[in-house]
Chains A and B, each alone.
Chain A
Amino acid sequence: MYDVIIVGSGAGGGMATKVLADAGLKIAVVEAGPYFDPAAPEQRTQLKWPYESPRRGASNRRPFGDFDSAYGGWDIEGEPYTQKDDTRFDWFRSRMLGGRTNHWGRISLRFGERDFKHKSYDGHGDDWPIGYEDVKPYYDKVDKLIGVFGSKENFENEPNGFFLPPPKPRLHELFYIKGARKSNIPVIPSRMSMLTKKINDDRGICFYCGQCSRACSVYADFSSGTCLIFPAQKNGGQIDLFTNAMVREVTTNTEGKATGVSYINKEDRKEYKLKGRVVVLAASACSSARILLNSKSEQHPNGLGNSSDHVGKYLHDSTGASRSAFIPELMNRDTYNEDGVGGMHVYTPWWGDNKKLNFPRGYHIEVWGGLGMPSYGFGFNPNDLNRFFNQKVGGYGNSLRSDIKKYYGSTIGMAGRGESIAMKDNYCEIDPTTVDAFGIPVLRFNYKWSEYEVNQAKHMNDTFEEIVHNMGGTLLQNAPSKESNYGLENPGRIIHEVGTTRMGNDPATSVVNKFQQLHDVDNVFIVDAGPFVSQADKNPTWTILALSWRASDYIIEQLKQQNI
């Protein structure tokens, strides 16, 4: 009998494991993927050279390239999902200890005051039942425990934190700063969870290899395994890790209370049960909704926690559109080690006033470019940029060598990541016609962007064009048309899916309360992004971590008071 069973070991599950195990509770962590440690020689991809992969790092097998640490992707063999009507929802899953935190972008942003109360501000969507002041103490603790670099900017709706100092901008980032500022678009140092400075003796300091997507073997970037679960184990935590264990459902008793979970062991393909006093779901927003919907019983005929019929509803992802450009002033570069951290050193937070725009919510801009390490695809169309000088493209021979050097590092990319409005009509549900390889009914998605998101994508493109113009550059793609929704990516594509088990004070219109406890069953909690009422124009993970810590504190208190 466990005190707490935690399903999933990503951001939410890792944080719950750390907080609950540190409090002395007996924990089972049930994870669908294998054990993963980026320091293990046979799993490490960091500092590998492109030629160590026979496909030179190509992305035909692992979706973000052969060296990316994700075990999973948009499609996983034996684990399908389906689409309703003409929906095209893309769902990225990783099956491994630490989940998607092994290879995420580490952009670690707090939500601001307005982000929790956006309905009061503009009438769209819903307010959260909690405010920034409820989460702030936990953001502070997450900053200090995990480490995030950034700078105090006192920027509206972009709260300060406990930051490590950021790294200096790269060359193309200086061009971006110049270009953006010309149009009064602000640029500030990035906020990301790599250790530019020591925070404790257990974790290494960043040595600037630019490869956080491969997961850091000295634990200098945040992954749930390396920064939460391993330290909790080291701390003497009573943690049983069940890996390759796919949870099917939460089991309940005749009173309707949760008694534990049932899972399929992928190795022998048999079903097992674990018993626990509390069940914490952290399988990621859609997976946790799926588990609830599949946990049907006499007491919970509509699925667990679903008396409101809201499980799966209000699914939403960030919006995204991107463009890239050629900057002639960045040609003919001297080379030096410009790897930096694994991601951008500067970014643009939302600066606009939506009351004056035809879309209600903002977006931030991410930037890329520089003297990166070649991998499959580098050198394709080596002198295509000649077209901008009205010169011949193509050819062969040693001139190609000079073409490559001439253009290496002369392109820059920008991506907008914006807030969409959560809508009840965008949802995931169980597809009664399809099961996965473990016999578990799968999810079916139903999702449509509204005019607001499309207008926002148009604005993103206009902004990119303006900044590129200011940089003296040329866009590499034509402006996307209205028919293509101005380049707005499919929902799911930005991998910030949230909202499927949203929190609220009213059990009729929400799934969990403000402590992320099911309204219907008091010993089941959800600590992934399911409880988000709205996904701000920030990336979600720092908020998942803070809220998971907050919910875990509440669990400890409730157990102490013998309320659950």
Chain B
Amino acid sequence: MDRRDSLKSMFLGSLGTGLMLSGCTTDIAPPDPQIAKAADNYFGRTPEELKLIEELNEDQFFNTHEMETLETLCALILPANENYGSATDAGVPAFIEFIVKDMPYYQTPIRGGLMWLDHTANTKFNAEFKETPEGNQKIILDSIAYPNRDKPGWEQPLEIQFFTTMRNLTMTGYYTSKMGLEDLGYKGNQPNIWDGVPEEVLQKHGVSYDPEWIKKCINQDERGVIAEWDEDGNLLT
């Protein structure tokens, strides 16, 4: 078993047997599971910050029609594929509802943009955006989804700016959701023992570790041994 595997089994083993609480020197030290669990109900807010969130949640900014239009739009921007749901399935419209209250400068451009969608759909297809068939919705989006690469955002027509904003919020909302993080393949935010870039990745990108450098780095088998030095600062343990 190479070191990576042995660390992995050590970690899984200790999880399984509930050893996390003990002072065992070799395992990874994640936060005390009781603390971790107790913290489930919080995300570290001060009382003032909690109050602000509650106040924002009490208000509803978008009306039902606008929320439904958002649902349609977010699912067009990022539809489901064979493995994952759409941005709407991942809860993005609710995230946008919160963000426009927390960042009020979004309110008018987004509200106005939604009206622009309806007005355009009514004019062209005689139906509201959310009611008109997907083919028609895409015809409208095609006219605003491709900004001129060589112009800064603020010089683009308003409806293009609106769509850029919607794409940004949809993408960020999706990739910060549970579904999106999994889709991305993000593997962090959990106790781990970092022991370098996997060999196959190094090869793929054409780089390698300098043995001189690696000699200086932590030997992860000895992370649990208390450090001691000689008087010149050479590590003895």
- Interface residues of A, Cβ cutoff 8 Å to B: 34, 39-58, 60-61, 66-67, 69, 71, 140, 143-144, 147, 149, 151-152, 160-171, 174-175, 177-178, 189, 196-201, 204-205, 207-211, 214, 217-218, 220, 329-330, 333-341, 371-382, 387, 392-398, 400-401, 404-405, 408
Contact between chains at B218 and A196 (CB < 8 Å) = yes
In the assembled complex, the CB of B235 is this many whole angstroms from the nearest CB of chain A, namely: 7
User: Chain B contacts of A44 at CB under 8 A?
Assistant: 31, 35, 39, 42, 44
Q: How far is the CA of A376 from the CA of B224 in the complex (A)?
A: 36
What 10 additional pairs, Cβ within 8 angstroms, besides A47-B36, A54-B56, A400-B167? A39-B32, A67-B44, A143-B233, A163-B235, A168-B196, A174-B202, A196-B223, A209-B189, A334-B200, A376-B172
Confirm or deny: B23 has a beta carbon within 8 angstroms of a beta carbon on chain A: yes
Q: Which residues of B contact A372 (CB under 8 A)?
A: 188
Which residues in window 38-81 of B have CB below 8 A to A?
38-39, 41-46, 49, 52-53, 56-57, 76-79, 81
Name the B residues within 8 Å of A57 (CB-CB).
176
Query: Interface size (B, Cβ < 8 Å)?
Result: 93
In the assembled complex, the Cα of A118 lies from the Cα of B102 at a distance in Å of 49
A-side binding surface: helix, strand, loop or mixed? loop
Q: How far is the CA of A169 from the CA of B204 in the complex (A)?
A: 16
Contact for B207 among A171, A210, A393, CB less than 8 A: A171
Q: Is the CB of B168 within 8 A of A197?
A: no
Q: In the complex, how many angstroms separate the beta carbon of B113 from the nearest chain A beta carbon? A: 14
- In the complex, the chain B residue whose C-beta lies closest to that of A54 is B98
The 8 Å CB contact of B172, one of A169, A174, A220, A380, is A380
Given the known interface contacts A51-B178, A167-B194, A209-B192, the answer about A41 and B38 at a Cβ–Cβ threshold of 8 Å is yes
Verify B172–A377 contact, CB threshold 8 A: yes
Residues of A within 8 A of B76 (CB): 396-397
Q: Could you tell me the distance between the alpha carbons of A556 and B167 in the complex, rounded to whole angstroms? A: 62
A51–B182 alpha-carbon span in the complex (Å): 13
Q: Which residues of B contact A163 (CB under 8 A)?
A: 233, 235
Q: Mark B157-194, 1 if CB is under 8 A from A, else 0.
A: 00000011001100111111110110111111111111
Q: Is the CB of B190 within 8 A of A199?
A: no
Contact check, B145 vs A396: say whether CB atoms are below 8 A apart.
Answer: yes
Determine the distance from Cα of A397 to Cα of B229 in the docked complex, in whole angstroms: 58
With known contacts A67-B43, A196-B218, A374–B186 Cβ distance under 8 A: yes
A149, A339, A387: which contacts B149 (Cβ < 8 A)? Answer: A387
User: Per a CB cutoff under 8 Å, which of B42, B164, B172, B197 touches A394?
Assistant: B164
| With contact pairs A217-B31, A379-B175, A396-B145 given, residues A334 and B201 touching in the complex (Cβ less than 8 Å) | yes
What is the bound-complex CA distance between A69 and B46, given in angstroms? Answer: 10
Q: Return A339 CB to nearest CB of chain B, in Å.
A: 4
- Whole-angstrom CA separation of A214 from B223 in the bound complex: 23
Q: Give the nearest-CB partner of B57 in chain A.
A: A54
Task: Kindly provide the distance from the CB of B226 to the nearest chain A CB, expressed in whole angstroms.
Answer: 5
